[in-house]
Chain A
Amino acid sequence: MNGLLRKSVMVLAAIGLLAAPAVQAGTLKIGAILAETGPAAFLGKPEVKTLKMLVEQVNAKGGILGNKVELVIKDSAGKKENAVSFAKQLIEEEKVFAILGPTRSGSTMAIKNICEQAKTLLISCASTKKIVDPVARYVFKTPQNDSLAVRKIFEEMQKQKISKIAVVVGGTGFGKMGKMFMNKLAPEYGIQVVANETYSPKVTDLSALVTKLKANKDIQAVVNWSIVPAQTILAKNMRQAGWDVPLFQSHGFGNINYVKSGGKATEGIIFPAGRLLVADSLPDDNPQKAVLVQYKNDYESKYKEPVSTFGGHAYDAFMILKKGIETAGSLDKEKVRDAIEHMTFAGTGGVFKFSPKDHSGLGIDAFVMMTVKNGAFAPYHGK
């Protein structure tokens, strides 16, 4: 009896294993590692919401190439270690077709090699140029390069005849790269960096730093590079100390929640961003306008909150993957990769032109200068 029972169990198990792939056919598993909680939540949450919304829309229309999309989202909480273990899990256990994200530059750099070696497509929502320089065959990204954001800011400073600045960054991957680029590119624009400071990402008050910088009368503007709440703490401390010099932020400022948490102190902050925040005022013949307005309306009516540029990065990542699969006409990873590498795509971040040497696809024209006026984002037209 015992032997018969064991044999029948084995037969059933074998049938089960054979049947399983049959059930799986027609499903496309896409993984996503996003910082839904933690210090980067203002970036990760809109990204998660956007992906969920897009998957719903795509599945309602029959999926991608007839395959239903199954989205596997992992919350990295903004931590590199989590990103690494989730990447391994998604690749080895879940066997996803591609990974979207992570949200943060540090997390992306931590999994860049893992994905490259596993030959799994990684389309990151993080911005540092190092993600695509040196180019890895399977790694792409959708935000504009941080080096370009720096250039955009410096161009604006040149117009305003600002030549001496203070650089203040958060001690994260994003911040350190920003500091490196700012110091490296400043001489090209005739700008001198007279102070370089790094703060801990968890800092809760920067008034001592503001005292130190304000005492240096040479400083004509301050550039802050981080995505943590300290972005707005710095603004508050500066205005409370009565220091009115222009404050420039990175393109990590594009979520209205930062403005809400900083209140009046954020008035007049200048930062580069994609055109998503000014979608409605674009001329009709702008190649991005249709995509931007559609995404903005869909997101805002579904989630009842304003769009942010970060959700846009996730939108671009998903749509680029979708277009890549549809162009390749199959679920062959190599063909999809090749399709993406030669793609031109009008997205929320800009008009992407990928190439084997350029896995970021965006130039400095993807940016517009924005500012905060009366508690809302507005285009910046200079002083």
Chain B
Amino acid sequence: MDLFIQYLVAGVTYGIMYAIVAIGFNIIYNTTGIINFAQGEFVMLGGMTAISLLEYLPLPLAIAAAVLITMLIGALIEMVFIRWLDSPSVLRMIIITIGLSILIREVALHIWGENIRSLPYFYGDEVTTVSFGPVRLSPQVLWVIGICTVMVACLSLFFKVTPLGREMRACSANRTAAILCGINTRNMVTFSFMLSAGIGALAGCVMSPITYTQYDSGTSLAIKGFTVAILGGLGNSVGAVAAGILLGIIEAFSVSVLPLAYQDVISITILLLILFWRPYGLFGSSAAARLKEF
């Protein structure tokens, strides 16, 4: 039983991180129809910027500043590369965002070098453990689960209740109708990039002590995040959370029966199976999927 809980905790930690990246994909996809493959880089930038700012600011301020800076970078990317495009095709957008992710990675390499870095643990250090009965884990894990859950809750509230959130939802439901209602859809697009960048950056900061941050840590995260986004139904954020936790748990438990070497095989196999069997995701609906272009 203890083993079960230990694996479960590892799985949920990972799952929530994948889910945050997936939600980032979903926000941008919903508002613009674009799959932003540079999403992983936002996570990396958040962590790296916070680490650099740590020399001048205390930890909470450094993280807040890093999130704001990454949001600005997200907005800049949108305004410079995306805004002036005139109804681009999906394929063109994908290639542009992949190119952007490579660009950001190389710039990060020049600024920060190739060393691995990490933020200090929020509480304690590398060997502190907290015990819940037989289960022992690092307090950082609790921070990850806590902060990410709060983020997901805030986001759903934001989209349901605030005017800005509802305008973004209107944009994603039907762009033309939104324009007719007087919503400035171009600003919505910029804002969606900012929001995605912001949550990605916060997730990057909070997982940095556990996973280390390096100039190329965004890539594998983007792939897993994309898998989770598809798994949960592209555009469906609640689905993303469920799918993320599901994938994390499957990966963690797979270690108990299969050699560790197969862990990545599992997630890619699941992605392939889902794409063959239910391409609109576990929680997406085929009717809604047909209405979308992708």
Contact = CB atoms under 8 A, between A and B. Distances in A.
Interface of A: 36-38, 41, 171, 196-200, 202-209, 211-212, 215, 229, 233, 236, 239-242, 257, 261-265
Contacts of B220: 202, 204
A375 to B, nearest CB: 11
Contact of B127 (A37, A198, A261, A265): A265
Contacts of B136: 240-242
Interface in B239-258: 251-252, 255-256
Max chain B CB contacts within 10 Å: which of A229, A233, A240?
A240
B7 interface: yes
Contacts of A212: 255-256, 260
Interface of B: 3, 6-7, 10-11, 13-14, 109, 113-118, 125-129, 131, 136-138, 210-212, 214, 217, 220, 251-252, 255-256, 259-261, 263-264
Contact of B212 (A41, A196, A229, A265): A229
Contacts of B114: 36-38, 41
A257 B115 CA distance: 9
A211 B127 contact: no
Nearest to B259: A197
B217 A204 contact: yes
A267 B188 CA distance: 51
Contacts of B125: 263-264
Contacts, number: 99
Contacts of B117: 261
Nearest to A211: B6
B126 A41 contact: no
A200 B210 contact: no
A66 to B, nearest CB: 38
Interface centre among B114, B220, B259, by most A CB within 10 Å?
B114
B255 A240 contact: no
Given A204-B212, A208-B251, A211-B3, A240 B128 contact: yes
A267 to B, nearest CB: 8
Contact of A200 (B10, B116, B263): B263
Given A208-B10, A229-B116, A240 B261 contact: no
A250 to B, nearest CB: 18
A383 B3 CA distance: 31
Contacts of A200: 261, 263-264
Contacts of A199: 260-261, 263
